Every structure is written in structure tokens, then in C-alpha cells.
Amino acid sequence: MATLGLSEQDKQAVADFRRDVVDPSQTKLVLVDFWAEWCQPCKQLSPIIEKIAAEYADRGVLLVKINVDENRFIASQFRVQSIPTVYAIFQGQPVADLSQARTEGQYRQMLDQILPQLPIESEAGQMAQDLAPLLAMGEEVLAGGDAARALSIFGQISEMAPENEEATGGQIRALVALGHLDEAEALLAALPPELAKSAAVERGRAAIALARSATPGVDIAPLQARIAADPQDYDALFELSAAQMAAGHRDAAADALLAIIAGDRDWSEGKARNQLLQLFEVVGLEDPWVAAQRRRLSAILFS
């Protein structure tokens, strides 16, 4: 923004803008709110945008309010013709016009679309990098069968980052693996609504449901005898899959469920398929094992 030929007042306005907006925008997303004292819509918007900026501060969002009556030159440079006008600035350039947003939900939706596309430096981003190895360790330990240690790891992560959905979901799954279903459900019930809806927590919810449907310590020999006598005894196959899941034998559990689907995909209103999909969610939809079982399922459904 050139200053040649400007009045001293305008030069000062440019200097202030560089200090308050351009410089911080090199690493943050700066929301510039053009407003005026006489603007009633601006006054209505002010508490909303201030709340959103505070909510997203740890993700690298900063709010700067510019009074158009006191900064006419700056407003003219942005061709502000009506207020409130809100621009998102990154590295000195407008990257989005947020002027149409009027509700918290609309601002959240826009910011959630913008932020992942920019190399923003933020506390949340740094925290995510720091926690990633610990989360990976927790998942590895849980997959290795040491649920008690996994619970400790995920619990420590949750103490550092209470809103980390992966750590919370890991705690729930570790509690399920330990057989502490009531504790897992209590943890789930105490979560704030937004965290409870996250994919990682839904994975924990599926683990609880799957564990509730399984009966540990079942003697599978009678079930196997029934299936040998009648391969279409789907009740026995389903019970066998639940027993195998309770014993931690996911391959055998998947085999039993896929056998039901191959024989009658609509058996008991798709009960076997729903159970299999729930198993996929518990293991993790990105897991290579799930990908292999999905291919088997697709081969059956589309053959």
C-alpha cells in the first residue's frame, strides 16, 4: 500500500494497518471488520464475530476492527461500499469475503473451509504435531493388546488436550478392551455434544455397542457343530461371530458374518452386514484389514 502523496493522517493509517493487519497476517488469518458507530447491523454483528475470533484464536485467527469514519483511506483501498464488511486476510492479501455471514454457524462453516487450505501457524496446529506421535503410540499399544497401558497414554493426552477427539475415542476403546463398559459409557455420556459427534468418538461408541452384543467365554464347539450340520444356521453363525469378537479373533468373526451375508444378505433385516460394518468402524476405516474385508464384502454384494 503506497504512501507517496498521502497526508500525514493517511500515512499513519497505512502504518497502523501494516502493524495490525499485514504483519500478523504473515502467519495468521486476520479478520478485518469494517464498521462505524452509527451502523446498527455492525453493533449486532460485533459480539458474534468477537466470539468466533476468540473461539478460533488457537487456530491462528485474529480479529481487527477498523472504523471506516476514522480510516477512510483504508476503507477506500478495500472498496468498502457498505458496512459491516468483513474480509479474511492472509499474507497481506484478502483470501475471502465473509460479509454475508451473520450467524456463528455461518462463520464457523466459512472458517472451517478456509483454514485447512492455508499454512497457518497456530497453537492448535503445533499441539496437533506434538500429540501425533503419542496418539500413534496409544493406537499401537492398544492394537498390541495392552489396553491398560493404552488407557494411560490416551488419558495423559486428554489431560494435555481435553478436546482431542482421538484421545477421547482411544480412552473409550481401551476401557472397552479392558471390559469396563460402564466406565466407557459414563465417559461417553459426559462428553460435550460437539466432541460426542466426532468420528473418533463414534468409533468408541461402536466398540461399546459391539462389546454389549458379544458374550465372552462362550463355548464355540456346540456352535461349530450346529453350523457343520446346517451351514445355513445363521443364528449359530451370528452367535459364533459374537463369540469370536469377544475373544479378539476378528478374522474368524468377519468370516462368520460374511458367510451369513453370502447366504442371505437380507437375513434378519441385514443384521450381519450391520454388525460387520460396526466391526469395521471399531477397527478403523483406514485400517488395511478393513480395506481387505470391504473388498470381500463387495465381491459378495456385487457378484
pLDDT in tens, the chain (303 residues): 555 567 788 888 889 999 999 999 998 999 999 999 999 999 999 999 999 999 998 888 999 999 999 999 999 999 988 999 999 999 999 999 999 998 999 999 999 899 888 888 766 666 777 788 999 999 999 988 899 999 999 999 999 888 889 999 999 999 998 989 999 999 999 999 888 888 899 999 999 988 888 777 788 999 999 999 999 999 999 999 988 988 878 999 999 999 999 999 999 999 999 999 999 988 888 889 999 999 999 999 997
Reported as half-sphere exposure (CB side, CA atoms, 13 A), residue 203 has a value of 21
Task: Report the alpha-carbon distance of residue 277 to residue 258 in Å, rounded.
Answer: 11
- Bridge partners of 47, per DSSP, are none
| Residues annotated as catalytic (active site), given as ranges | 39, 42
Task: Report the alpha-carbon distance of residue 204 to residue 196 in Å, rounded.
Answer: 10
